[in-house]
A and B are shown apart, each in its own frame.
Chain A
Amino acid sequence: MTQSITPKNIVVYADDDPDDLELVQDAFAQYSNNVEVVSFIDGISALSWLQSLSPFDPKPCLVILDVNMPVLNGKEVLIRIRQLENFESLPVVLFTTSSQPQDKSFAAQYGAGFVTKPLDIKQMEIITDQFINHCAEEIRNKIRRQVQ
């Protein structure tokens, strides 16, 4: 008998704050059978990783970008992602401490979601759900089935 192993859905997360990187890793831990979080400490590394994917590699189901990062900030990464072939509709979320309307408009302009970083555990639970909502329907159903 052969057993097929379904590859995990990849969530890419770029943030220069190690505490926030750990926070998001922990938030997705409950979905660890289905989701792998690939983290980067700056935007340019995340972008390089995405650019290195071949057409045969599975695309990430979601890219989460901190806005304020050195070298290449989250907004610049988002613009460049949208310029990449086959990434025009990749789900992307800007994850930031800001709740400024102009940042929300920017995200919407480039077809991305906008999520403000949480201030307590209750908000973090809601936000994890919001992240998953940005994935394609088939993927989010699969992810959620695991914890039911």
Chain B
Amino acid sequence: MNLFDFQLLPYHEKIDTLYEQGVYLGKRKMDDLTVLLYQLDGYYIEIFYKKHRCYVTKVNVFSSTSLLDPYLDQIAVEPFVYTK
């Protein structure tokens, strides 16, 4: 499913699609919100929670990798580092 089709889904279908197919990438805190980052078919989805994994306040869909910066410190790069 491409980014535009995903954006057109009703809320519960977005959540169910992510639950079944999304790949979890990371988590960050923003004020009193918890934000989870998922990847799906080459784009990214942030879910903003008022209560962690329960009450969603916003779903943000994007493809730009520049928005991944807040999560980069959590991603382990060792498996990708070439060693002789």
Contacts and interface: CB of A to CB of B under 8 A. Distances in A.
Interface in B7-45: 12, 15, 18-24, 27, 34, 36
Contacts of B27: 17, 19
Interface residues of A, number: 17
Give the interface size class of chain B: 10 to 19
Contact of A122 (B12, B22, B47): B12
Secondary structure at the B interface, as helix, strand, loop or mixed, is: mixed
Contacts of A17: 27
A118 B19 contact: yes
Given A19-B27, A23-B54, A119-B56, 16 more contacts: A17-B27, A22-B52, A23-B52, A23-B53, A99-B20, A116-B19, A117-B53, A118-B53, A118-B54, A119-B15, A119-B47, A119-B53, A120-B53, A120-B56, A123-B19, A124-B53
Interface of B: 12, 15, 18-24, 27, 34, 36, 47, 52-56
